[in-house]
Amino acid sequence: MKSTFWKFFKDVLGWALIHSPGLISVIAKGVALVFDDIREDIFWLRDQLNPLTCEEQYLPTHGATRGILQYPLESTDQYRKRVVKAYAWHRQGGKAEGMPQILQHYGYDGCTFHNCRNDDAVRWAEFKVQIPVPKHGLEVNDYSLVTWAVQETKPARSKLAALQTHSAVQGAANASGTLLLCSVVTLEPEKPKEALLTVTISSGCGLHTITTTSLG
């Protein structure tokens, strides 16, 4: 029997009477099993009070007490990490320096931000987010999740103008050349100047006689 308290009774307390079969041994084993169950319940309750170890059904309660609500496109693991780091999330929110770190939390590494004021002074409050395209590509949900994360953490005076994507492909180009030397030969029939023919000519003649006879 694998029991933490039964092992404690035998090895640590060293109760001699529980080593022999009998009523006292049976009672001691029963008490040890009850204590094991109580111990597991205490550990379970402790885990539910911690958002890092609580069951999924209790996670929204922890998030609500910390002002962190789950976004529909956010995975449970991402939401759990955000609830655990709620203080850092609120601390980074509303700051331009915090947006790259928050996007990295959702798996979008290397995002850069372009201030539209550099192109047009009138658009001083607008900015664009450039997202590197990962190997698996980007889907519609990715754009929605990035937009939501940026809107949640951007400074209040700023305005998201656009999301841009860019990708880089590394490759090698090989060039080679071949020098061909050739000559063109034109074949034309030669016109004969004279021809020597050996010919045998045969001739013949014949005599025919036609007689006409009239009757009557």
- CATH number of domain containing 102: 3.30.300
Bridge-partner residues for 126, per DSSP? 159
Asked whether residue 178 is assigned to any structural domain, the reply reads no
Total domains in the fold of the chain: 3
If asked whether residues 78 and 110 sit together in one domain, one would say: no
Asked if 138 and 128 sit in the same domain, the reply is yes
Question: Residue 117 belongs to what domain range?
Answer: 94-167
Distances from the Cα of 122 to the Cαs of 3, 160, 193, 201, in angstroms? Answer: 73, 15, 94, 111
Query: Is 196 within the bounds of a domain?
Result: no
55-64, 126-135, 154-163: which is most confident: 55-64
Phi and psi at residue 21, in whole multiples of 5°? -60, 135
> Which pLDDT tens digit goes with each residue over 63-82?
999 988 898 889 999 999 99
Is the same domain home to 131 and 152? yes
Mean pLDDT estimate for the chain: 78
Residue in 110, 112, 169, 108 with CA at minimum distance from that of residue 143: 108
Q: Is the pLDDT assigned to residue 180 strictly greater than 50?
A: no
Predicted model pTM: 0.58
Q: Which residue has the higher pLDDT, 21 or 50?
A: 50
Q: How confident is the model at residue 9 (pLDDT cuts 50, 70, 90)?
A: confident
Are 73 and 18 part of one and the same domain? no
pLDDT computed for residue 160 by the predictor:
87
Asked whether residue 72 is domain-assigned, the answer is yes
Q: What percent of the residues of the chain are helix, what percent strand, and what percent coil, each to the nearest 5?
A: 45, 10, 50
Is 98 in the same domain as 162? yes
The Cβ of residue 47 has, within 10 Å, a number of other Cβ atoms equal to 13
Q: How far apart are CA 106 and CA 161, in angstroms?
A: 21
Same domain, 25 and 42: yes
Cα–Cα distance for residue pair 195/178, rounded to 1 Å: 49
pLDDT given for residue 135 in this prediction = 80
Whether residue 161 contacts residue 127, with contact meaning beta carbons closer than 8 Å, is answered with yes
Question: Of the candidates 143, 167, 191, which is a domain's last residue?
Answer: 167
Task: For residues 186 and 184, give the distance between their C-alpha atoms in angstroms, rounded to a whole number.
Answer: 7
Task: Kindly give, in sequence order, each residue whose CB lies less than 8 Å from that of residue 158, ignoring residues fewer than 6 positions away.
Answer: 96, 125, 126, 127
| In a domain? residue 177 | no
Higher per-residue pLDDT: 146 or 44 = 44
Q: Is there a single domain that holds both residue 151 and residue 112?
A: yes
Q: Are residues 105 and 155 in the same domain?
A: yes
Which band of pLDDT confidence, cut at 50, 70 and 90, is reported for residue 53?
A: very high
Domain boundary among 73, 92, 111: 92
- Element containing residue 5 per DSSP (H, E): helix 4-7
The stretch 181-198 carries a mean pLDDT of 45
Q: Who wins on pLDDT, 177 or 116?
A: 116
Maximum mean pLDDT: which of 50-54, 183-187, 194-198: 50-54
How many C-beta atoms lie closer than 10 Å to residue 140's C-beta?
Answer: 8
- Whether residues 34 and 74 fall in one domain: no
> Do residue 121 and residue 66 come from a single domain?
no
| 13 is a domain residue | yes
Q: Among residues 39, 71, 92, which one ends one of the domains?
A: 92
Residues 69 and 100 in one domain: no
Name which residue leads in pLDDT, 117 or 198: 117
What are the tens digits of pLDDT across the range 118-149? 888 888 888 888 888 878 788 888 888 888 88
The answer to whether position 124 is within a domain reads yes
Instruction: Report pLDDT for 187.
Output: 39
Please give the structure tokens belonging to residue 78: 């991402």
